[in-house]
């Protein structure tokens, strides 16, 4: 009797985040500002960027001793470049190697260091404060769950997320990539299930409402210890 051939079914898996983000910049999926790398309107639109820089500046200068800051997902660095001078050291991290090399050529300060890391996989730099600006909103719950334990090593964490306006069910899962939870009428909340990030204090630093019901950009300070 002839044996039946064993057929292995291929299981489709989402692209790794690194490849997805490389595609975002290569194909200019977040827009084209006549620049080799462009992190989208959220990093360039003055009515979104300026309030963020203002509240982060006030936060950073409130410390007698300047902080070491780790920017987890620095993008094209149009935002971070205005914060470096208020820190003891600024470590800017992104997952896209070509973007990091570009930033190294464009931005040079004695207290500025760029590193190419996958924050869900790699060990994170030692710092007083982590900044995560509109990064986690693009990641799956599984990836975020790998990041959350690492955040406990920072005393302060500043998280900025694009959220639906009004009440919503938080933390609906997505596939990591260009999109966010807004399409599912959801947004990120680190302190509730399934992440349950333990913090000492939580404070909203800024909230910027977008036009035409496009949601709100919220920046939250978490104090861990």
- Whole-number Å distance between alpha carbons of 158 and 162: 14
Q: How many domains would you assign to the chain?
A: 1
- DSSP label at 153? T
> Are 129 and 156 contacting, i.e. CB atoms less than 8 angstroms apart?
yes
Query: What is the rounded average pLDDT of the residues 69-82?
Result: 97
Please say if the pLDDT value at position 3 is more than 60: no
Percent helix, percent strand, percent coil in the chain, to nearest 5: 30, 20, 50
**For residue 46, is it within any domain?**
yes
Domain of residue 73: give its range: 17-223
The pLDDT value recorded for residue 15 is 46
Please say if the pLDDT value at position 5 is more than 90: no
- DSSP label at 144? H
**For residue 78, is it within any domain?**
yes
Residue percentage of the chain with pLDDT more than 70 = 92
- Give the contacts of 7 (CB within 8 A, at least 6 positions apart): none
Range with the poorest average pLDDT among 45-49, 160-164, 168-172: 45-49
**For residue 9, is it within any domain?**
no
165: confidence class by pLDDT, cuts 50, 70, 90 = very high
**For residue 10, is it within any domain?**
no
- Whole-number Å distance between alpha carbons of 175 and 220: 24
pLDDT in tens, 169-207: 999 999 998 889 999 999 999 999 999 999 999 999 999
- Whole-number Å distance between alpha carbons of 153 and 166: 32
In 3D space, the residue among 44, 46, 65 whose CA is nearest the CA of residue 54 turns out to be 46
**For residue 4, is it within any domain?**
no
Tokens 């639906």, residue located: 164
**For residue 86, is it within any domain?**
yes
pLDDT in tens, 108-129: 999 999 999 999 999 999 999 9
Query: What is the rounded average pLDDT of the residues 33-51?
Result: 85
Looking at residue 207, which CATH number applies to its domain? 3.40.50.150
For every residue of 72-126, DSSP letters joined together read ET-TT-TTGGGTGGGSSEEEEEES-HHHHHHHHHH---TTEEEEE--TTTSPPPP
- Give the contacts of 38 (CB within 8 A, at least 6 positions apart): 25, 28, 30, 31, 32, 44, 76
């Amino acid at each position: 009797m002839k044996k039946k051939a064993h057929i292995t079914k291929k299981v489709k898996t989402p692209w790794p985040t690194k490849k997805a983000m490389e595609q975002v910049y290569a194909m200019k999926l977040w827009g084209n500002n006549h620049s080799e790398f462009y992190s989208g309107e959220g990093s360039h639109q003055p009515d979104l960027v300026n309030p963020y820089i203002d509240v982060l500046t006030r936060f950073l200068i409130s410390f007698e001793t300047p902080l070491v800051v780790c920017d987890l997902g620095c993008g094209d660095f149009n935002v971070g470049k205005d914060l470096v001078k208020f820190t003891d050291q600024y470590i800017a991290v992104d997952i896209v190697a070509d973007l990091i090399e570009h930033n190294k050529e464009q931005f040079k300060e004695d207290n500025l260091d760029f590193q190419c890391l996958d924050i869900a996989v790699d060990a994170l730099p030692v710092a007083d404060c982590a900044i995560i600006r509109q990064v986690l909103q693009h990641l799956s719950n599984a990836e975020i769950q790998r990041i959350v334990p690492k955040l406990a090593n920072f005393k302060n964490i500043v998280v900025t997320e694009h959220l639906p306006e009004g009440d919503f069910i938080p933390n609906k899962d997505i596939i990591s990539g260009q999109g966010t939870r807004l399409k599912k009428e959801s947004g990120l909340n680190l302190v509730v299930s399934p992440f349950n990030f333990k913090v000492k204090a939580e404070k909203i630093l800024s909230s910027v409402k977008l036009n035409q019901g496009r949601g709100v950009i919220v920046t939250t300070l978490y104090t861990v210890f």
